[in-house]
Amino acid sequence: MQNSLKFLIIGDISGNLGLAMLEAYLGKLKERYKVDGIIVNGENAGNQGKGITPKIVTFMKNLGVNVITSGNHIWAKREILPYLASNTDLLRPANFPAGCPGVGVTTFDVAGISVGVVNVQGRIFMRELLDCPFKTMDSILTYLKDKTNKIIVDIHAETTSEKIGMGLYLDGRVSAVVGTHTHVQTADERVLPKGTAFITDLGMVGALDCMIGMKKEPILGNMLTQMPHKFEVCTDAPAVLAGVVVEVDKVSGKALDIQRVRIVDEDIKPIRM
């Protein structure tokens, strides 16, 4: 009898090329690592690299994704608002104001075992004026304590310090803390002293030879001239898929292991959504 659960947790999916990578490799990764649950950050999966639609949510769910997290771009597609209001498999950051549609915490079952997923957003260098993510986590853990001790947290934040701070703050209280938003996979994956798996940033799923999923020319133009440029999602291979596999003890909820995952495909083509 297996005494642990494995979770595949994947970073920000960028546009149709990112969705193509998800379609091409999610099943293979599930089989290779024998994962029990899949969590992805989908806030940039829209065809312009921002937002998500109900159609994309359905696409991801059909591939085997259990929960989709998000961040500051969750509101970019207006058609997602009714879905957020009536479903809990797509999260928006829990520290947005209570009047916003959707929830920031949910649970799903793996072979009769309840697993919690929480999404919060950092505040340093982020435009939104949000509640404290640390205090928000305290409140959520009070709610979850009678439901499960297998808990995965996505902190969508700009700075490494805030993400590391969240990992250390929650060490021993959750199974894993993973960072998203900056789209660059970090090499600091580890199990913290009290049993929480941590990585500063999962990385992204999308075009590799660009700037965090977007075409480099407009961004470089902005950097060089300080003039406004319209950013565009990149749809040219090669593409990358990045994330982690976290193994969690079924009884204690403590992390046993965390492994980085990174796949590069030189020839993949974007799908139509």
Cis link prior to 270 (omega < 30° from 0)? no
Please give the positions annotated as active site.
73
Cβ-count burial 67-91 (b if 16+ within 10 Å, e if not)? bbbbbbbbbbbeebeebbeebeebb
> How many other β-carbons are positioned within 10 Å of the β-carbon of residue 98?
6
- Whether the per-residue pLDDT at 124 is higher than 60: the answer is yes
Give the count of alpha carbons within 13 A of 246, CB side only.
32
Distance separating alpha carbons of residues 183 and 242, to the nearest angstrom: 9
- Residue whose C-alpha is closest to residue 35's, from 67, 5, 11: 5
Per the document, the length of the chain is 273
pLDDT digits (tens, 9 = 90+) for 57-76: 999 999 999 999 999 999 99
Can you tell me the distance from the alpha carbon of 239 to that of 205, in angstroms, rounded to the nearest whole number? Answer: 7
pLDDT in tens, 152-173: 999 999 999 999 999 999 999 9
> Can you tell me the mean pLDDT for 129-141?
97
Q: How far is CA 54 from the centre of its chain?
A: 17
Over residues 89-101, the mean pLDDT reads 97
49-62 burial, b if ≥16 CB within 10 A, otherwise e?
Answer: bbbbbeebbebbee
Domain spans of the chain, in order of start: 4-265
261 within 8 A of 8, measured Cβ to Cβ: yes
DSSP 230-263: ---B--PSPEEEEEEEEEEETTT--EEEEEEEEE
97: three-class secondary structure by DSSP: coil
Model-level pTM?
A: 0.96
pLDDT at 122: 98
Look at residues 145, 163, 55 and name the one whose alpha carbon lies nearest to residue 153: 163
Tokens representing 263 are 């796949």
Q: How would residue 1 be classed by pLDDT, with cut points 50, 70 and 90?
A: low
Judge whether residue 6 has pLDDT over 70: yes
Q: What superfamily would CATH give domain 4-265?
A: Metallo-dependent phosphatases (3.60.21.10)
Mean local confidence (pLDDT), 31-52 = 95
